[in-house]
Every structure is written in structure tokens, then in C-alpha cells.
Amino acid sequence: MRNIKILHIYSKALDLYGDYKNLTVLSQRIRETGNQVEIITAELFENLEFSGFDMVYIGHGKVKNLAAVAAHFVPYADKVKEQIENGQVWFVTGNASELFGQSFTTPDGGEIKGIGLFDYKGVETNKVFVSDMIGRPVFDKEETVYGFANRTAYLEGENKYPLFEVIDGFSNGKTPDGKEGTLYKNFFATWSMGPVLSRNPALMREILKRLLKEDYKECDYTLEQQALELVLAEFKKG
């Protein structure tokens, strides 16, 4: 049995659209496999320590808050990159992806540095963009996922490490290029807001496998799968 330790950073500053429920359902599933889980939060202006955690989570947030977070987060760039290169599991939703690129722009036209793990740049538009998305995860192309973006920014630059091959809907960029999110080693990121782990058993399983390794067990996803099938059927109908 494992005791999985999850670090949720900026839970108060980046907290939009029910994203934190990703951790609620992930914890439920970890317990269902007979393992234990502990969630620790760390906020803006507090000291961040990543070692000793199995997973780090950052959610989608207000644009102004993201800029404040960047000023606090970027000084940890080397430590963050080291953890990700060494295989720590990260799960990042919405505009928090912008923190991991070269830079991102702000509503007043400023530019803020990211940690530079990826080549992309975040571009703020000040306009709400919404879209559904269905796609196939790169780790299992037999599976289909559903996501929903509600964002005012996009990522500019080639997506070298996509998480999903998009069948229909949004990409990381301004215009659809068939690739969404990021999967690099055990770093997962997606623009899908809200409860993406709750609604997508395939993604939940993959993260559980990477967290639990030999202690992974299959759970009952009947209801979640049925719900997802109904969503996908509506896309087929068009």
C-alpha cells in the first residue's frame, strides 16, 4: 500500500470552474484502489518545496492572479524542471500551462516570463473563447476523451508533446492544429477546464497507473463511461 502525497499549489489564487474537484475524484479513486492519499496546499508568498511529493497540481485561474503567481513561481524554475525531468507526476489545467512556457502576455500588453520548460508562449486576448473538444489520448489511441475550454489566452508555438490528438474542437493554439495539451514524461497539461479527470476514465486511469505503479488496481467506471458515451454520441449526431 502506498501513501500518495499530492501538493496543490496556488489553490486560493488559481481556483476557477470546479477544477479542484479533479483532486477530490483522484483521491476517491486512490482510496478505492486500497491506497492512501494526502493533499497539502501551498499558496502565493509561501515557500515551495516539491521533493517528497508524488504529484503536483495547479488549476486554472483569473488572469490577474496568474501574473501574481508567475512572479512567485518562476524563481523555482530550476527545481520544478528537475522534478519534472526526474518523473514527478504533474497535472496542470487551463491557463496554468502558460507558466511552463517561455513567456505570456497580460491584458495591459505586458509580458511575463515563464519557467521555460517548453518553447510555447502564452498570448492573452481579453476575450472569452469557449469550445468543446473530443480527442484521443496519445497514451491510448483506442480511447476518446471529452474536454471543454473556457479561456481568454492561447499558446503560440509548435506543440511538440501533445496529450490529445484532437478529433473535433480546440487545440492549444489560436487555430485548431489537431493537438491539445501537453504530455512530457509524467507532466500532464490540458486547457480542459473543470472536472476533466472526473469525466474521463481513460485519463484518470493513466494518472493512477503512473502514481501507483505496481499498486495500481482497476476501479469501477461504469457510470463515468456511460456518461462519456452519451456525450460522444451527441458529437456523432452532429
Partner 1 sequence: MRFALTALLCKALSIAGKLLGGGTDLPGKIALKMYPRVMKKLKFDGKVLAITGSNGKTTTANIVAHVLRENGYSVVNNELGSNMTSGIASTLLCACTLGGRIKADYVVLEVDECYSRFIFKDLRIDYYLILNLLRDQVVRNGHPDLVSTKIVEAIAAQPEMTLILNAQEPISQNLAGDNYAVYFAMDRTERSTDNCVSGTHDAKICPRCFHEMKYEFFHYNHLGNFACTHCDYQSFHPDFLATDVDFENRTITINGEQISVTYNTTFNMFNTVAAAALALTAGVSMEEFKKGVATFGGAKGRLDTFDFEGRKVTLMMTKQNAASLDQSISFVLEQAGDKSVVLFINNVLYLDYKDISWLYDVAFERLHGKVKNILCTGNRALDAAVCIKACDFDSRTLHYENDLSKIKEAFRNTEGDIYILAASAFGHEGKIIEELKK
The reply to whether 231 sits near partner 1 by the rule CB under 8 A is yes
The reply to whether 42 sits near partner 1 by the rule CB under 8 A is no
Residue 21 CA to residue 27 CA, distance in Å, equals 10
In the window 72-111, what residues touch partner 1 (CB under 8 A)? 107
The reply to whether 128 sits near partner 1 by the rule CB under 8 A is yes
Residue from 148, 154, 188, 191 binding partner 1 (CB under 8 A): 148
The reply to whether 222 sits near partner 1 by the rule CB under 8 A is no
Residue 111 CA to residue 74 CA, distance in Å, equals 13
Exposure pattern of 5-16 as b/e (b: 16+ CB <10 Å)?
ebbbbbbebbbb
Going from the C-alpha of 119 to that of each of 12, 98, 160, 161, the distances in angstroms are 28, 11, 9, 11
- How many chain residues bind partner 1 (CB under 8 A)? 41
The reply to whether 65 sits near partner 1 by the rule CB under 8 A is yes
Residue 84 or 189 having the CB closest to partner 1 = 189
Residue 59 or 137 having the CB closest to partner 1 = 59
Stretch that binds partner 1, among 73-81, 130-138, 157-165, 176-184 (CB under 8 A): 130-138
Residue 17 or 216 having the CB closest to partner 1 = 17
Give me the least distance between CB of 6 and partner 1, in Å please.
16
Residue 139 or 235 having the CB closest to partner 1 = 235
Point out which residues bind partner 1 (CB under 8 A). Answer: 12-13, 15-19, 21, 24-25, 28, 43-45, 62-65, 68, 107, 126, 128, 130-132, 146, 148, 150, 152, 193-195, 198-199, 223-224, 226-227, 230-231, 234
